[in-house]
A and B are shown apart, each in its own frame.
Chain A
Amino acid sequence: MRRMKLIVLLLAAWSLALMAFPAGAGQAPPALSLEPAMVKVSAFFDGADLWVKGKAPAEDQVAVCLSSEPQEASFRIKDKLWGIIWMNHDTVSFQHVPSVYLVQGSSLTPDDFNLGLGYLRAQADVEGGKGNPEQLFGEFVKIKKGEGLYQLSDGGVNLGQPQGGLRTFECLFKLPARVPQGVYQVRTFLKEPDGRVTPGASRQLKVEEVGFPALLSSLAYNHGLLYGILAALVALAGGLITSMLFKGGGGSH
């Protein structure tokens, strides 16, 4: 009994200590806020505007990076056969590449924060594919940029007026409609006057289907057969109804 009490007391003291001294005790990282805090993919979703706001040391430059977990991405490669026709005839896979990668900086380029394409290339492995890996990686980035899933821009982060050694910053990310569901990392990076880049505050962003799209996805992926039969039946019924409507309208010979 007495031992139990002791354990409870110790636990209480420990949690109090945790509250009093947050992680990274001493210098708490400046807070970061996301608007909206979560991206809901509803029936009328057509991409989303995400505002990232925070505070940083007044003399630092700021970059904000929104990215997904690095993963593998596989592609077919088109090549010229016999010097005439373009044909898929090889495959390549890129290891450790994020499916979404959006970076903005305050007056400095992503490369200045070591967040540019060079950084992504250094992280990635190119496997398979007979061609030049650098060229293949370039083609990969071209596809991603075309889809709006990779966006790297020099500007975009607006800095406020310095106040007490800090200043506010904010930037707007345009998430495209095809942004995959999942958990994203929104990280900030600070470039100090001496050129040193240090990581700043970070937060997670969840992109999740809600409502009708969520319902439909779960049916399609978990009960594929039922979903298929229902889809075919509704289409059949649709055809029947239109056909009947037209018959009622006259004009059939």
Chain B
Amino acid sequence: MPWHLYLPIAGNSVNVLMIFAMGGLVGLLSGLFGVGGGFLMTPLLIMVGIPPTVAAASDSNQIVGASTSGTLAHYRLGNVDFKMGLLLLVGGTLGGVLGVQLIKILRATGNADFLIKTTYVLMLGFVGGYMLLETIQNLRRDKKGEADTAAKGESRYAQMMQRLPFQTHFEKSGIELSVLMPLVLGAFVGVLAAIMGVGGGFIMVPVMVYMLRMPMHVVVGTSLFQILFTCVVVTVMQARTNHTVDFILALILLIGSTLGAQVGAKLSRKLQGEQLKLILACLVLLVMGKMLFDLLVHPTFLLSYIGGH
């Protein structure tokens, strides 16, 4: 069959067109929402016969390309807040290191798997649910034309943020914030991302929208900028220590996803922020539903390989 390519690291052959299409789809979402798409891509790759460790590592390699393309596209549209991105990155790296240590301890006590799965489902459920509710409320409010401002609890949160030291102006986002906020929140996302083994884009985006109060369009560009750095580091580390990066696989995904990311970035300009949030919320809840289903229903295979084959 001419459309098959053999992947030496994954140790299996795949249909090039199918992998290309998967890359395109996830790239589109990435450009649209500023998420790396790892939470979608890895399960898809496992479905077509790629070992889980290779799927995750090769996906990070692919995200390097997609997020470069996406970051540049958003940069041209004036949507990347470099200052905020770098602060989140510093926080995220510290959090990531902490999270990896935490996982090591938990693995030793034998509770890692349970923690990872429940964190995943709870985070996806919480993030998706909150975004969905909030967006629906906003859309309703817009329809009624009510000009009522944010709820009392939220304004108290804003007051608290203003009282923090080291206030700076973030020009691109058009907000005034304490430097501590992105650092601490970045670290928080870093810990979670390390525990779950994902880039963390789908947590970072809501954190930027709701806790840092950045405009949605800047959120997407800034998130992609940050993901780019994370995934470069992850790719090199995985290749060096675990030999799980399949370059051929990453390359096919990459061609699909960079194209998808460009289309996504353009499309995100056409959609309203609220619409974007609504779609992302539904997507996150869908993935949560799938994970919950897998946890509750009798699995086809009770055994799974440890490490490679």
Q: Is B299 an interface residue (CB 8 A)?
A: yes
Q: Report the contact-size class of chain B (Cβ under 8 Å from the partner).
A: 35 or more
Q: How many A-B residue pairs have CB under 8 A?
A: 187
B14 CB to closest chain A CB (Å) equals 8
> Of B124-132, B135-143, B301-309, which stretch is located at the interface?
B301-309
**A231-B235, A231-B247, A232-B61 known; A242 and B69 CB under 8 Å?**
yes
Q: Give per-residue flags for B246-276: 1 if the beta carbon is below 8 A from chain A beta carbons, else 0.
A: 0110110011001101100010010000000
- Most interface-central of B239, B240, B295, B302 (chain A CB within 10 A): B302
Query: Would you call A253 and B77 a contact (CB within 8 A)?
Result: yes
Q: Is A18 an interface residue (CB 8 A)?
A: no
The residues of B that contact A177 with a CB separation of less than 8 Å are 4, 6, 12-13
**A85-B295, A228-B238 known; A220 and B303 CB under 8 Å?**
no
A106 to B243, CA, bound (A): 43
A50 to B298, CA, bound (A): 37
Which of these, A75, A91, A239, contacts B64 with CB under 8 Å? A239
**A99-B309, A251-B266 known; A231 and B61 CB under 8 Å?**
yes
Q: Is A4 an interface residue (CB 8 A)?
A: no
Query: Would you call A87 and B114 a contact (CB within 8 A)?
Result: yes
The residues of A that contact B296 with a CB separation of less than 8 Å are 84-86
Would you list which residues of chain B between 101 and 148 have a CB under 8 Å from chain A?
Answer: 110, 113-114, 117
Closest partner residue, chain B, to A229 (CB atom): B236
Closest partner residue, chain B, to A138 (CB atom): B302
A75 to B308, CA, bound (A): 10
Q: Count residues on chain A whose CB falls below 8 Å from chain B CBs.
A: 62
The residues of B that contact A69 with a CB separation of less than 8 Å are none
Contact residues of B: prevailing secondary structure = helix
Query: Would you call A240 and B9 a contact (CB within 8 A)?
Result: no
Which of these, A45, A74, A143, A228, contacts B301 with CB under 8 Å? A143
Query: Would you call A43 and B240 a contact (CB within 8 A)?
Result: no
B263 CB to closest chain A CB (Å) equals 9
A11 CB to closest chain B CB (Å) equals 45
A28 to B138, CA, bound (A): 86
The residues of A that contact B114 with a CB separation of less than 8 Å are 81, 87, 89
Which of these, A85, A212, A243, A253, contacts B69 with CB under 8 Å? A243
The residues of B that contact A20 with a CB separation of less than 8 Å are none
Query: Would you call B6 and A231 a contact (CB within 8 A)?
Result: no
Can you give 24 A-B contacts (C-beta < 8 A)? A42-B6, A44-B4, A44-B6, A45-B6, A47-B13, A74-B305, A74-B306, A79-B302, A81-B114, A89-B113, A216-B8, A216-B247, A220-B245, A227-B245, A228-B235, A228-B245, A232-B61, A232-B232, A235-B64, A239-B254, A240-B69, A243-B258, A252-B76, A253-B269
Give me 16 other A-B pairs in contact (C-beta within 8 A), A220-B245, A228-B236 excluded: A41-B6, A41-B8, A45-B13, A77-B302, A85-B295, A178-B12, A213-B8, A224-B240, A225-B236, A231-B239, A235-B62, A238-B254, A246-B69, A246-B73, A252-B77, A253-B77
Sort A-B residue pairs by CB-CB distance and give the 5 closest, nearest first.
A228-B239, A239-B68, A177-B13, A235-B65, A213-B8
